[in-house]
């Protein structure tokens, strides 16, 4: 299957993408991973992307599209892929359609992870990271440390990242509503969107997503 995963920040896209890709035996193609790989390997596209990022500018759509195209042309993506973080706006969605059409392919589904805005804010603003090891992550509501502000694993200080503050999260949501959400209507017009609730345990959401994708596949 060729799938696009969409949803607001804090919807758990990265987590679900990893599980779904494994269950469906297709590669998980994340724009974040694409940028990191191209920059670390110093590809021409990576150098170009870094030149914009170093100036604090957004990487132009055509660079992101070229990176995604290059990745989708790799042998492991021949029988399908799961796109996470791309397309990010309607112009990228149109470019993806053109790209797939030129290869005689098309998307099978667009999986929309739905989460209420207040839950997104609660999920992200409640995160606390250990200063000693950023892989030690806690949450004031869902995974509170035994002692407030202290990492259970190593005793390091727990802190809230600047981009996890409520004000920043709400700004990120505004960007999502303005730039990315319109692609849902774009894909709805093509009959591709499957919307599921991303509330509940990770495993429950994965089961929900797999069932929704299977129904979509059976309807073809």
Q: Could you list the active site residues?
A: 13, 88, 127, 161, 172
Report the pLDDT value the prediction gives residue 216, as an integer from 0 to 100: 86
What gap in Å lies between CA 91 and CA 80, rounded to an integer?
22
Report the pLDDT value the prediction gives residue 18, as an integer from 0 to 100: 92
Domain ranges of the chain: 2-219
> Per the annotation, where are the binding residues for ATP?
10-15, 127, 137-138, 200
Report the pLDDT value the prediction gives residue 103, as an integer from 0 to 100: 87
pTM, two decimals, is 0.88
> Per the annotation, where are the binding residues?
10-15, 31, 36, 57-59, 85-88, 92, 127, 137-138, 161, 172, 200
Contact 51, 69 (CB under 8 A): no
Rounded-to-10 torsion of CA 38, 91, 27, 17 = 110
Report the pLDDT value the prediction gives residue 219, as an integer from 0 to 100: 79
DSSP the chain: -EEEEE--TTS-HHHHHHHHHHHHT--EEEHHHHHHHHHHTT-HHHHHHHHHHTTTPPPPHHHHHHHHHHHHTSGGGTT-EEEES---SHHHHHHHHHHHHHTT----EEEEEE--HHHHHHHHHTEEEESS-TT-EEETTTB--SSTTB-TTT-PBEE--GGGSHHHHHHHHHHIIIIITHHHHHHHTTT-EEEEE--S-HHHHHHHHHHHHHHHHHH-
Report the pLDDT value the prediction gives residue 218, as an integer from 0 to 100: 82
pLDDT tens readout for residues 167-192: 999 999 999 999 999 999 999 999 99
> Per the annotation, where are the binding residues for AMP?
31, 36, 57-59, 85-88, 92, 161, 172
Report the pLDDT value the prediction gives residue 217, as an integer from 0 to 100: 81
CATH no. for 2-219: 3.40.50.300
All residue ranges of the chain with pLDDT < 70 are none
DSSP-derived pairing of the beta strands 28-30 and 137-139: unpaired
Report the pLDDT value the prediction gives residue 56, as an integer from 0 to 100: 86
For the record, the structure tokens of 67 come out as 């990176």
- Cβ-based burial of 58 (10 A; exposed 0-12, middle 13-18, buried ≥19): exposed
């Amino acid at each position: 299957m060729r799938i696009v995963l969409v949803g607001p920040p804090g919807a758990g896209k990265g987590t679900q993408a990893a599980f779904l890709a494994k269950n469906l035996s297709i590669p998980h193609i994340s724009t974040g991973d694409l940028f990191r790989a191209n920059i670390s390997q110093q590809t021409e596209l990576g150098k170009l992307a870094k030149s914009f990022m170093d100036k604090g500018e957004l990487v132009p759509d055509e660079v992101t599209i070229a990176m995604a195209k290059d990745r989708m042309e790799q042998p492991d993506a021949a029988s399908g892929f799961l796109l996470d973080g791309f397309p990010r706006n309607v112009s990228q969605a149109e470019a993806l359609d053109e790209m797939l059409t030129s290869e005689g392919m098309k998307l099978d589904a667009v999986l929309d992870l739905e989460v209420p805005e207040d839950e997104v804010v609660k999920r992200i603003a409640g995160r606390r990271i250990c200063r000693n090891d950023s892989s030690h992550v806690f949450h004031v509501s869902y995974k509170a440390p035994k002692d407030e502000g202290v990492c259970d694993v190593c005793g390091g200080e727990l802190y809230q990242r600047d981009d996890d503050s409520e004000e920043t999260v709400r700004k990120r949501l505004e960007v999502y509503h303005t730039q990315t959400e319109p692609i849902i209507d774009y894909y709805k017009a093509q009959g591709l969107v499957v919307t599921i609730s991303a509330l509940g345990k990770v495993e429950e959401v994965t089961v929900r997503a797999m069932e929704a994708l299977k129904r979509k596949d059976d309807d073809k």
